[in-house]
Structure 1
Amino acid sequence: MITLTLLHPIKSTPIQSWKFDNESVIRIGRATDNNVVLYSAVVSRHHVELRRAGLQWKIINLGTNGTYMKGSPITQVTAEDGVIFSLARSGPQIQIHLAKYQSKISSDLQKLEFEMRLPDRDGDTVTAEDVTKPIPLPQTSLEPELAKKGYPS
């Protein structure tokens, strides 16, 4: 789930919010076919798209007056929980709130990418490096018979 909150231009307090549960693309702009419609002269008809990319959201500028974060223009950035962006330099400001479980899952997956730890039979830790090592197979009673028939051991 993602929540978008329109902030007051001076006080930065919430004015209006929109919640989306299952959308993969959220469109923001002045046109009435957008998911979020903002009536402001500096907002383009199709100004910004938020696109889900796996567990993350991308903020993509489409507007002719630009989309800004912390005063700098953006083309495309990954959204983080609590981030604020503005449509045009002095236009409406929107804050993004990501579901807490989504942020937690994303954080946990990132940790797993760096190091995988599994307990082995003795309770010791097995690292990702250990997992990639070849495992020696136990010798079986068939190996001498197979060797006689010309199979490599």
Structure 2
Amino acid sequence: MISLALLHPTQLVPVQNWSWEAKSLIRIGRASDNDVIVYSAIVSRYHAELWEDRSGWMIVNFGVNGTYVDDRPIIQRSVVNEMIIRFGSSGPKIKIWTQELGSEFADKKDELSKKEIFLTNKNFPQTSFVNEDITQTDIY
């Protein structure tokens, strides 16, 4: 099992999540035929792929703006539990849980989806939202 969560840009709490139990290839990008669709101008139509093999999961970058782990661009890299990837040097972030933490994430998913987050930027007044009220379109 692998689980991914799109993180809020400032609070680093999940605003959208995906899970798969029997999938060995996951495509991420802006195009509607990806498994994970991320609406951001920084994200390429076909930005990255996650591949599972006998040794675990790998992430491969195909994006023009790059994929970053720990603020370093990657071409291909092994995925580790709770890895955070960023699309472009300043784009959206996704956190990845692999099989070992997938069931733990599933148990906490409902709790996380009700967590209050506070947004402060020029487009939003200082206010509190329950993150299920926020969509990707509101953020990016």
Query: After TM superposition, is the score higher than 0.5?
Result: yes
CA distance in 2: counterparts of 1:93 and 1:101, whole angstroms: 19
TM-score norm. by structure 2 comes to 0.70
Indicate the residue corresponding to 1:8 in structure 2: 8
Aligned with 1:64: secondary structure?
coil
Q: Distance in 1 between matches of 2:88 and 2:2?
A: 22
Structure 1 residue ranges without an equivalent (≥5): 103-153
Report which of the two structures shows the higher radius of gyration computed on alpha carbons. Answer: 1
For 2:54 and 2:101, locate their aligned partners in 1 and report how far apart those are by CA, in whole Å: 14
- TM-superposition CA deviations, 1:105-140 (whole Å, max 9, x none): xxxxxxxxxxxxxxxxxxxxxxxxxxxxxxxxxxxx
The structural deviation recorded for 1:29 is: 0.1
The corresponding residue for 2:46 is 46
Q: For each residue in 1:4-38, what CA deviation from the matched residue of structure 2 results, as whole angstroms up to 9, or x when unmatched?
A: 01111111111111001111100000000100001
Moved over 4 A (4+): none
Aligned-partner SS, 2:40:
coil
Q: Which protein is richer in strand relative to its size?
A: 2
User: Residue in 2 aligned with 1:27?
Assistant: 27
Question: Cα offset for 1:64?
Answer: 0.4
Q: Percent identity?
A: 45
Once residues 6 and 12 of structure 1 are traced to their aligned partners in structure 2, the CA distance between those partners, rounded to angstroms, is 9
**Structure 2: 5+ residue runs without aligned partners?**
103-140
Shift of 1:53: 1.5
TM-score normalised by length of structure 1: 0.64
Closer/same/farther in 2, CA of residues 101 and 17 from structure 1, 3 Å limit:
closer
